Structure 1
Amino acid sequence: MAWKLIKDTTNVCVEYRVTGLAAEVAFFTLMSVPPLLLCVAGTLGYLSQGVIAKLEADILRAASTFLSASSVHQTVQPLLNSVFSSGRPDLISIGFLLALWSGSRALYVFVDTVTIMYGLEDQRGIVHTRLLSLGLYIVALIVGTVIGPLVIAGPDQIVAWFPATADIVHVLYWPGAILLSVVFMTTLYHVAVPVRTAWKEDLPGAIVALLVFFVCSIFLRLYLVHSVEGPTVYGSLAAPVAVLLWIGVIALAVLIGAAMNAAIDRMWPTRETAQARAENEKAREEEAMEVMRRAEARRAATRNRAANPPPTEGEGESDIPAEYPERWADFLPHKDLRGRIQSKGDRRRRYPSPFEGEQQDEEGEQK
């Protein structure tokens, strides 16, 4: 049974191009990062002077570790002064709109792929899918803004912020992070399916996605350490390459988990998904029958035209009644033009003059 499940999951991944779709999700996700940074940069001017001074000092201190003093004073310092001088509402609005478009496009690919994997592509329209992906992206931004700094900072930074919770943080940090990841991915799978099912039905895919992410992360870390890390020609490309690869690994893991859930649902379907797939199959059959009926009607019309060809020009003249039959009785076709001219005098009717009868009577009396 386990081997059949693995085989079905692999077939689903191959059939629906999971690797290619993961690359598409990674591209659109990375494409949404610069607009978000522009949006954040536009809001920095609205912060208080104390916060701005601390941020500026931290950025200059970090820049001085890998840039020369002249570069920091000539490039970084003027740039920070222009950013922190005033707020930029134009950058905020434009950056936020661009980030919404590209980020929601990445989630649209994921939601649409999950729908197709389940065989329920006709259960949700494109407008509904687009709005759903937009809402998911906004929720992800809010959750990422709250939880992201805690995950990036790590347990040591949290302990530095809250010293009284040192023991609890060191014990519960990683189990809590894993639990939150499983809950988040399970909820994402649950919302992406067009029909409502039990939330626990999507747990296996979330667990598999987390395991795939851990395994791929180990190999990806080894690759990055031995390829782009350190003083090599690829050192300047390390950050964008690493970010793109990490996003691609996350997208691949999430899609593999969705494929696992779809394979489980095909082996042990729930009542809701089975009914929805049956409705889709019925709609496809009706559409196919309609196409066949139209094709048969076109073939019948073609056979009818072949069996009963339309009358030619000469054959149809006898069926058309003449408006004035006596007018066309002596008509000669244009090919016999000479005979028509010669017979013109014979066909012309001669009407007797009013004096012709009196002349004939006088001649009779003289005789």
Structure 2
Amino acid sequence: MRGRRVSQAAYRPYHEDHRAAAAEPGRGRDATKPTDIPARGWLDIAWRLWTEITGDRILLIAAGATFYLLLALFPALAAFVSLYGFVADPKTIADHIAFLGGVLPTGGLDLIRNQLNSLASQSTSALSWGFISGLVIALWSANSGIKSLFDGLNVAYEEEEKRSFIKLNLISFGFTLGAMFVGIVMIVSVGVVPAVLAFLHLDRWTELLVSLLRWPILLVLVGFGISLLYRYGPSRARAKWRWITPGAIMATVVWLLASWGFSFYLQHFADYNATYGSLGAVIGFLVWTWISVIILLAGAELNSEMEHQTAHDSTTGEPRPMGERGAAMADKLGISADAKS
């Protein structure tokens, strides 16, 4: 996507960067963390954020990532069932994902549950064979979905992929396995937590409180996963956590609200089954995935524009001057909203 930017004026030549930082007081050009950026600086960020989301064609990139994620979905479920069988009965997995009904579209949840039931009903030998020979293929297919997200993050951070084939796939495999591990822990806890609460004989209000804590824990896990994607997904010098957290929090909260809103919309207003027939559930899940990826990339765009607002080094390690930081958005200053004309 490099070379097809909407506004080349948004990127100042290197020799003007330090002069611009001193010449534009009150905009957070010397900010060491996002909270140091004043209101005028956030207006600059908001203007550039809108320009970049449209200029980077985030909706189109999210559609491409959605395609690869959906291609990877069923191989990922096959691998997930194989791994889940090591810690619990695979036949219980479909029942334990019911808690996702609050964020997944109804049709999408049914689609995943039916596939999980089909996979879990296979014979033990089939599952063993799947783990021995098919798991690698399934993980490789699921891995392509993660790499498609990396491509989108590279666009958001204005980077080209510079990592070697081996390093890129090791990182993406790490994310793939990590996501499956967290998913297994979450789903197993759905079955374990009620049993533990019953054993402890807690009062009704304490039991309710502990049960409700699963949702904040889910949000924390989602937010932490998004933060890891922002830190290790782009091919660039790693950003400090302080420059990653705002976008991750925004993406997590907006994703949850958007998921609830979209599920409500499907249940009360839209009838995809009437329009698309038997494909209604697939279409609904596809649109939800597309919206989720858009929000994820928008959070990355927010983080990148925050780094673009300050001349201070936002990458890890010893402070380096602009032009030597190994991160495009940290190596130059973004244009201010006042200079857009």
Q: TM-score range by the shorter chain?
A: 0.5 to 0.7
TM-score in terms of structure 1 length: 0.56
- Tell whether the 8 Å contact from 1:228 to 1:237 is kept in structure 2 after alignment: no
**Deviation for aligned residue 1:166:** 0.9
**Deviation for aligned residue 1:270:** 4.2
Count the aligned residue pairs: 253
1:228 to 255, 258, 271: 271
**Deviation for aligned residue 1:171:** 4.9
Residues 134-175 of structure 1: per-residue CA shift (max 9 Å, x gap): 22112112112212455xx59xx9446523361432453333
1:240 aligned residue:
282
Name the CA distance, whole Å, in 1 between partners of 2:120 and 2:215.
39
2:175 aligned residue:
136
1:192 aligned residue:
233
SS of the residue 2:297 aligns to: helix
**Deviation for aligned residue 1:209:** 0.8
Name the CA distance, whole Å, in 2 between partners of 1:35 and 1:81.
14
1:278 to 320, 323, 341: 323
Name the CA distance, whole Å, in 2 between partners of 1:253 and 1:46.
34
2:250 aligned residue:
208
**Deviation for aligned residue 1:11:** 1.9
1:258 to 276, 291, 300: 300
**Deviation for aligned residue 1:93:** 4.3
- Tell whether the 8 Å contact from 1:29 to 1:106 is kept in structure 2 after alignment: yes
1:162 aligned residue:
197
**Counterpart amino acid of 1:176?**
I
2:214 aligned residue:
173
2:10 aligned residue:
none
**Deviation for aligned residue 1:256:** 0.6
TM-score in terms of structure 2 length: 0.60
1:15 aligned residue:
55
**Superposed CA RMSD:** 3.9
2:25 aligned residue:
none
**Deviation for aligned residue 1:199:** 1.4
Residues 315-355 of structure 1: per-residue CA shift (max 9 Å, x gap): xxxxxxxxxxxxxxxxxxxxxxxxxxxxxxxxxxxxxxxxx
Residues 24-62 of structure 1: per-residue CA shift (max 9 Å, x gap): 2222222222223444667899999xx68x769x8xxxx
1:24 aligned residue:
64
**Deviation for aligned residue 1:263:** 0.6
- Tell whether the 8 Å contact from 1:229 to 1:235 is kept in structure 2 after alignment: yes
- Tell whether the 8 Å contact from 2:244 to 2:303 is kept in structure 1 after alignment: yes
1:111 to 150, 167, 177: 150
**Counterpart amino acid of 1:223?**
Y
**Deviation for aligned residue 1:203:** 0.6
The alignment status of 1:92 with 2:131, answered yes or no, reads: yes
Name the CA distance, whole Å, in 1 between partners of 2:313 and 2:81.
50
Taking only the aligned residue pairs, the percentage that are identical comes to 25
- Tell whether the 8 Å contact from 2:68 to 2:148 is kept in structure 1 after alignment: no
Give the direction of change, closer, same or farther, for the CA distance of 1:188–1:30 in structure 2 (3 Å limit). same
- Tell whether the 8 Å contact from 1:43 to 1:88 is kept in structure 2 after alignment: no
**Deviation for aligned residue 1:212:** 2.6
- Tell whether the 8 Å contact from 1:39 to 1:96 is kept in structure 2 after alignment: yes
Name the CA distance, whole Å, in 2 between partners of 1:276 and 1:135.
32
Gap runs ≥5 in structure 1: 59-78, 284-367
Structure with greater contact order relative to length (CA < 8 Å, sep ≥ 6)? 2
Greater helix fraction, Structure 1 or Structure 2: 1
Give the direction of change, closer, same or farther, for the CA distance of 1:158–1:250 in structure 2 (3 Å limit). farther
Give the direction of change, closer, same or farther, for the CA distance of 1:117–1:81 in structure 2 (3 Å limit). closer
Give the direction of change, closer, same or farther, for the CA distance of 1:100–1:55 in structure 2 (3 Å limit). closer
Give the direction of change, closer, same or farther, for the CA distance of 1:139–1:11 in structure 2 (3 Å limit). same
1:363 aligned residue:
none
Name the CA distance, whole Å, in 2 between partners of 1:253 and 1:187.
16
Give the direction of change, closer, same or farther, for the CA distance of 1:93–1:242 in structure 2 (3 Å limit). farther
- Tell whether the 8 Å contact from 2:243 to 2:306 is kept in structure 1 after alignment: no
**Deviation for aligned residue 1:121:** 3.0
Larger radius of gyration: 1
- The 5 Å alignment of 1:28-47 reads 28-39=68-79
